[in-house]
Structure 1
Amino acid sequence: MWRAREAPSSRRRCRFCDAYGPGYFFIPGTETCLKIGGRVRTEGEWYDAYNPNSKNGTLWHTRAELSVDTATDTEYGPLKTNTVVRWDWNDGNSTSTKLLFANISLGGFLVGKADSQYNNYMGYAGNVINDDVIYDGPKELNQLTYKYDAGNGFTAVISLEDSNSSSDTSSYGGAWQTGTGNHYAPDVVAGAGYKTGAWTLRVIGGYDSIVEEGAIKARVDADFGAFSAFLMGGWNTDGDKLNKYAGSYLNSNRSACPTNGADCGWGDWAFWTGASYQLNPKLQANAQVAYTDSKIFAATANVAWRPVKDLLVEPEVSYTNWDAADADQWAGVLRFERKF
C-alpha cells in the first residue's frame, strides 16, 4: 500500500541545521536554516597609531553590527548567504551606516561583497586591534571567488575582485597614483596553503589592474595550544609605487609622506610577526611587530580579558615610527565588546 512520505519533524530539521554550525535554526515552512548574530562595541581611543598628524587626542567610538546567515542543503552542497550591516557613532555626532558584507556561496564559489581574499584567505595579521598599521591589503570589495579544499590539509583560492569597489581605494593611491579612474578589468588574487599538525603555510598574490603592479605575501603559523605565533612577509613588485596590495593608510597626509606616497607604503618589502599566549581561561596576552623597507616600524601589545562568556575587555598600546617623516606616535585603545 502506497503511503505519502512523512515530512521531517521540526526537531529533526533543527538537528540538521546544527550541521552548519552553532546558532542555526530551522525557518518553519521552508528548507532554509537561519542564524542571527552580531556585536556591540564601545571603545576609547587615545591618539592614532595610523597617523602621526591626527588631531584626535581622545576619541570615543561606538559600533553595532547585525549579521544574518542562511544555509540550505542542495545537490551541490550548502547554498549560503552572509549579510552584515554596521552602524558607527563617533564623537561630534558623526554617524555612518554600512553594508559591510553581502554575498552568496555554493560549492566553493562565492560572489558578492566580502573582504579581499588577499586578506581573508591569509588570516589577516595578529590578534591585536591595530594589526594593520603596516598596510596588509584591501578589505571590503565585490568579488567572484573559488576556494578549493582537498581535505588533506591543502587548500587554494582564486578571486576576481572589483578594481573600483574596495573601501581602501583612497588609501593606496590618491594624488600619487597614476592611471586611476574608471577601469573595467578586475584585479586578480590567487593563493595556496597547506596545514599539517601545528603548522600552516600560506602564499598569496594580488595584481592591481589599474596600477599594473601587485604584491605577494607568504605566512607561516604555529599553534601549540596555549601558545601561537605567526610570521608573514610581503614583496611589492615595484617598491617605488603604491598599489592595492602594497599600499598605505597615509595618502591624505602629505607631511607624513614628504617625497611621494610610496614613502608611506612598503617600499620593496614588509613583514609582520606576532604571538599570543593564553594565560588562563579568561585572559590572553597578544603582541605584534611589523616593519617595512621604507622604514616604518609598528609595535602593538594588548591583553584580552573575557570575564564572562561573549564579553571582551581589551586594553591595548601601540607605537609607530615613520622614518621618512621623522615622526612617531604612541597610541592606546580600551575596548569593550559583547558578541551574540
Structure 2
Amino acid sequence: MTIRAFLLGTAAGLMAVTGAQAADLPGEAVPSAVDYVKVCDTFGAGFFYIPGTETCLDISGRVRFRVTANFDAETVQFRADGRVDFDARTATEYGQLRSFFRLGAGDDRETNVENAFIQLGYLTVGLAGDLYNADILYGINDFAQGGFDDTLQITVLADDLGGGFYAGASLVTQTDEDTRVTATDFEDDLEIQAAVGIAGQPWGGVDLSVFYAPETADDQWGAKLTGDLTLAEGFDARLSAAYVDAGATEAFILGAAGAFSISDAATIYAGVRYDIEDDSDDDLGANIGVDYTVVSGLVLTGEVSYSDSDEDGDDEEIQAILQLSRTW
C-alpha cells in the first residue's frame, strides 16, 4: 500500500466516524428520571414520600441502657432494649389511612412484635395500646395501674369532636405477646374499654376511662379519672383517682405528680401513689427523678423510687435507676 492510499483511507475513516458521532448527538439516550426522596409535611416532621406513591413513611426508634440498684435485695441489674417503628400514612376520601408496626428487643434478645395495627378514620384494628388510661406518675417507675398489656382490639375512637373533645370504645383481648388469639369464651377472654375526655387545651386535659371484664366467677371493672394540667410555663401536674373492683378485692387508687423544667435541658419530677384496699394493708409508692437532655435525642435519667407493699411479702423497697435513652 502506498503512502497516498494509506492517507486517503485514514481520512475517509475519520470522516465516517465523525459523521456517525455527529449523527448520534441529537438522539443521545437520556438517563431515566430518578425518584428522589421528598419530604412529606402533611403528617408532621420525619415523614417522607415512598417513591412513586402518595404514601408517607416515618422510620423512628429508641435504644435504652439502664442500671438499677435495689438496696433491699442488694442487687444491681443491667438492662438494654431497643425498638424500631414504621409509620405509614396516606390521606384518603375516608380520612387518614395509617398502618403502624413496632419491633422490639428486650431481656431475652428476641425480636417481638409490640404493635401492629391499621387505622382508617375513626376505626383501629390490630395490636395497639389500651383506651383505658393506666398512667399514674411521671418517670421510669411510674407505678402505673397494672394488668393492661398490649391487646388485640377493635377500637372506634373519635378524636376530633371539636374543642379538643374525644370519645371511644374498644373490644379487646389480652395477647400474652401473641399476634393471634382465639377467644373461645366471651366471659373469660374478652374485655370492653371506653374513654371520653378533652385534650390539647392551654391548661392541659382530662380523661375518664373505664373497663369491664366479664368473668365466669366475678365480673371485674374499673374507672379512672386523670387530669394532666399545665399550672404554669414549664410546670405540669398529673392528678388521678381510680376505683377497681376485681371481684374478690376492691381498691381506691390516688395519685399526684409534678414536673418542673429548671432549664431547657433539665426537668425534675416527683410523685406519690396511694392504694386503699379493703382486704389488705394499704400500698404506697413514690418517686423523684431528673431528665437531662445531653444532646438532641439523647436523655440521661436518674431516679429514686420507694414502695411499701405487703402483696409479695416485702414491706419496703428502695430502687435507684440510671438510664440513658437514645431516640431518633
Deviation at 1:272, TM superposition (A): 1.5
Instruction: Pick closer, same or farther for the CA change 1:56–1:20 going to 2, 3 Å.
Output: farther
Cα distance in structure 2, aligned partners of 1:207 and 1:166: 19
* Aligned residue in 1 for 2:224: 217
* Aligned residue in 2 for 1:236: 244
Instruction: Pick closer, same or farther for the CA change 1:232–1:10 going to 2, 3 Å.
Output: farther
* 3-state SS, counterpart of residue 301 of structure 1: strand
Question: CA RMSD, aligned part only?
Answer: 2.5
Q: Does 1:192 align with 2:235?
A: no
* 3-state SS, counterpart of residue 18 of structure 1: coil
Cα distance in structure 1, aligned partners of 2:59 and 2:314: 47
Q: Does 1:333 align with 2:300?
A: no
* Aligned residue in 2 for 1:5: none
Deviation at 1:117, TM superposition (A): 1.2
Cα distance in structure 1, aligned partners of 2:198 and 2:212: 22
Instruction: Pick closer, same or farther for the CA change 1:151–1:127 going to 2, 3 Å.
Output: same
Contact between 2:103 and 2:115, CA under 8 Å: does it hold in 1? yes
The equivalences for 1:1-340 within 5 A come to 14=38, 17-47=40-70, 57-89=75-107, 94-119=108-133, 124-132=135-143, 135-148=145-158, 149-162=160-173, 164-166=174-176, 183-184=185-186, 186-195=190-199, 196-210=201-215, 211-223=218-230, 224-238=232-246, 240-241=248-249, 267-294=250-277, 295-323=282-310, 325=313, 327-340=315-328
Q: After superposition, give the CA deviation of every residue in 1:248-297 in whole Å (9 maximum; x if it has no partner).
A: xxxxxxxxxxxxxxxxxxx3211121000000000000112101013110
Query: Which of structure 1's runs of 4+ aligned residues deviate more than 2 A?
Result: 94-97, 124-127, 134-137, 181-186, 194-197, 237-241, 323-326
Cα distance in structure 1, aligned partners of 2:326 and 2:237: 26
Instruction: Pick closer, same or farther for the CA change 1:78–1:183 going to 2, 3 Å.
Output: same
Contact between 2:238 and 2:257, CA under 8 Å: does it hold in 1? yes
Deviation at 1:14, TM superposition (A): 3.8
Contact between 2:137 and 2:272, CA under 8 Å: does it hold in 1? no
Give the unaligned 5+ runs of structure 2. 1-33
Deviation at 1:97, TM superposition (A): 2.3
Q: Structure 2 length as normaliser, TM-score? A: 0.78
* 3-state SS, counterpart of residue 206 of structure 1: strand
Q: After superposition, give the CA deviation of every residue in 1:67-91 in whole Å (9 maximum; x if it has no partner).
A: 11101111011100111111124xx
Larger radius of gyration: 2
| Higher RCO, Cα 8 Å, sep 6+ | 1
Contact between 2:288 and 2:304, CA under 8 Å: does it hold in 1? yes
Contact between 1:10 and 1:26, CA under 8 Å: does it hold in 2? no
Contact between 1:84 and 1:101, CA under 8 Å: does it hold in 2? yes
Instruction: Pick closer, same or farther for the CA change 1:166–1:288 going to 2, 3 Å.
Output: farther
Contact between 1:104 and 1:111, CA under 8 Å: does it hold in 2? yes
